[in-house]
Amino acid sequence: MEDKKIYNLIKKEIQRQREGLVLIPSENYASPAVLRCMGTPLSNKYSEGYPHKRYYSGNEYIDEIEDIAIERAKKLFKAEHANVQPHSGSQANAAVYLALLKPKDTVLAPSLFAGGHLTYGSPINFSGIIYNFIHYGVNPKTERYDFDEIEEKAKKYKPKLIVTGTTSYPRALNFKKFKEIADKIGAYLMADIAHIAGLIIAHCHSHPFPFCDVVTTTTHKTLRGPRGGLILSKKDLAEKIDKAVFPGIQGGPLDHVIAAKAVCFKEAMSESFKKYQKQIILNAQAMAQEFVKAGFRLVTGGTDNHLILIDISSFKIDSKRIQDELDKIGIYVNKNVIPFEKRTPFNPSGIRLGSPAITSRGFKEKEAGYTAQLVIKLIKNINNKKIKNQIKKEVKKLTQKFPIYEMDSFGSGFAR
Ligand code: DSN
């Protein structure tokens, strides 16, 4: 209230989140308990180092909090070691590279056009500038990872590290097959499970351990915690990973966020969290069905996880226009590149949609399918103002029926 401008903008953003349907697969609604941790004076503390080995005094409670977060992360992900300090998924990936590689070392990772991330060696990202990334794609027919291509490239380029991970791949990752290839050339194997961490915990996706040496994730996507990163690894890499995070790439950890991560890990151990993850997949599949029924082409033909990727390359409308028009009626999706992209990353041929956030609202298959129908209706009537207004009203009705953050203006209430 002291700063009216910011206060009002925060209120407006909370209202936008309440009244919109988030289909961006990497977004979700953290619980009030998680949100409250981040608004505490823990944010004031400096605690460079690790529990019981800090550079500053006054860390007795911070140590206990980080110890709890580490123990919970290890238990949740069946990991031998956990580092809960990375500020984000990119920081987590940067720390792993620093721990395992030297500048110019070769890494084999998925290309951005096959579901990869900027930190998998994009030329405009630190990863592509410092390290020698070689990319694998997907099979042109199946649009799934092609293990013959991956093995061929692994043998040819002898990478020190193989990365598996995705931001827009609608199918399951086969960690065992990646491990078999990594073993043939003596490479480390890293899985970036940022998108699918929640699904893994709930056994809706296979587990990266014992196949991977190191696993990175964010904590705010399907995991539904605070915005942040996490590294899990085998014991023998623990020291290297910890040194790479601090003092390698970060200074003081965000203790308020680490407390929120601990709370999120506890939430993720519950039975209701497992049920939630199962519903995420059912809802993504319900959406996929509607698009297929309406004649849309989905990359790989469907989904095994929380997201679908629609190919609009044969449409006259731009993906950017679809994203913008949906935004105006309160549905949030994102334009995305597809395999063998022929347009540009600024106006690509794909629309990426996911179900984690609408499932947090309490949507089941019926509502998820109906949401897909609304998206289809908008795309088919993109120039019809009257129909767009009708859809906007339907969106509002749905958000009112399945509310989020309803008790006070700063999101302390949570409907589910
Ligand atoms: N921005 C994230 C996503 O949407 O997948 C990745 O960093």
Q: Which positions make up the binding site for (6S)-5,6,7,8-tetrahydrofolate?
A: 112, 116-118, 344-346
* pLDDT, position 1: 67
Residue from 36, 144, 227, 343 carrying the catalytic annotation: 227
Query: Rounded to an integer, what distance in angstroms lies between the CA atom of residue 21 and that of residue 353?
Result: 11
Q: Which positions make up the binding site?
A: 112, 116-118, 344-346
* pLDDT, position 415: 43
* pLDDT, position 345: 86
Give the fold, CATH level 3, of 9-29+271-401: Aspartate Aminotransferase, domain 1 (3.90.1150)
Ligand 1 neighbour 125 (Cβ under 6 A): no
* Ligand 1, atom 2, residue with closest C-alpha: 26
| 218 in catalytic set | yes
Of 307, 279, 310, 283, the residue nearest 294 (C-alpha): 310
Residue from 45, 46, 300, 311 carrying the catalytic annotation: 46
* pLDDT, position 322: 98
Give the fold, CATH level 3, of 39-267: Aspartate Aminotransferase; domain 2 (3.40.640)
Of 369, 364, 350, 358, the residue nearest 287 (C-alpha): 369
Q: Where are the domains of the chain?
A: 9-29+271-401, 39-267
Residue from 29, 119, 164, 192 carrying the catalytic annotation: 192
The answer to whether 9-29+271-401 and 39-267 have equal CATH topology is no
Query: Rounded to an integer, what distance in angstroms lies between the CA atom of residue 210 and that of residue 225?
Result: 25
- Distance from the alpha carbon of residue 117 to the mean position of ligand 1, in angstroms: 8
| pLDDT tens, N- to C-terminus, the chain (416 residues) | 689 999 999 999 999 999 999 999 999 999 999 999 999 999 999 999 999 999 999 999 999 999 999 999 999 999 999 999 999 999 999 999 999 999 999 999 999 999 999 999 999 999 999 999 999 999 999 999 999 999 999 999 999 999 999 899 999 999 999 999 999 999 999 999 999 999 999 999 999 999 999 999 999 999 999 999 999 999 999 999 999 999 999 999 999 999 999 999 999 999 999 999 999 999 999 999 999 999 999 999 999 999 999 999 999 999 999 999 999 999 999 999 999 999 998 899 999 999 999 999 999 999 999 999 999 999 999 999 999 999 999 999 999 999 999 766 455 554 44
Query: Rounded to an integer, what distance in angstroms lies between the CA atom of residue 319 and that of residue 311?
Result: 9
* Ligand 1, atom 7, residue with closest C-alpha: 117
Residue from 27, 48, 105, 151 carrying the catalytic annotation: 48
Of 34, 65, 76, the residue nearest 270 (C-alpha): 76
Cα 5 → chain centroid:
31
- Distance from the alpha carbon of residue 26 to the mean position of ligand 1, in angstroms: 6
Judge contact between 35 and 44, C-beta under 8 A: no
Sheet holding 334-336, edge to edge: 297-298, 307-311, 350-354, 334-336
Ligand 1 neighbour 167 (Cβ under 6 A): yes
CA torsion 84-86-89-91 (nearest 10°) is: -150
Cβ neighbours, 10 Å, residue 16: 12
Of 226, 263, 71, the residue nearest 217 (C-alpha): 226
**Beta strands 21-22 and 331-332: pairing type?**
parallel
* Ligand 1, atom 6, residue with closest C-alpha: 167
The atom of ligand 1 lying closest to the CA of 26 is 4
The atom of ligand 1 lying closest to the CA of 24 is 4
| 48 in catalytic set | yes
The DSSP result for 57-82, as a single string, is S--HHHHHHHHHHHHHHHHHHT-SEE
pTM of the model: 0.96
- Distance from the alpha carbon of residue 386 to the mean position of ligand 1, in angstroms: 33
The dihedrals phi and psi of 81, each to the nearest 5 degrees, come to: -145, 145
Ligand 1 neighbour 26 (Cβ under 6 A): yes
Judge contact between 130 and 124, C-beta under 8 A: no
* pLDDT, position 406: 79
* pLDDT, position 118: 97
The atom of ligand 1 lying closest to the CA of 334 is 4
Ligand 1 neighbour 336 (Cβ under 6 A): no
| 46 in catalytic set | yes
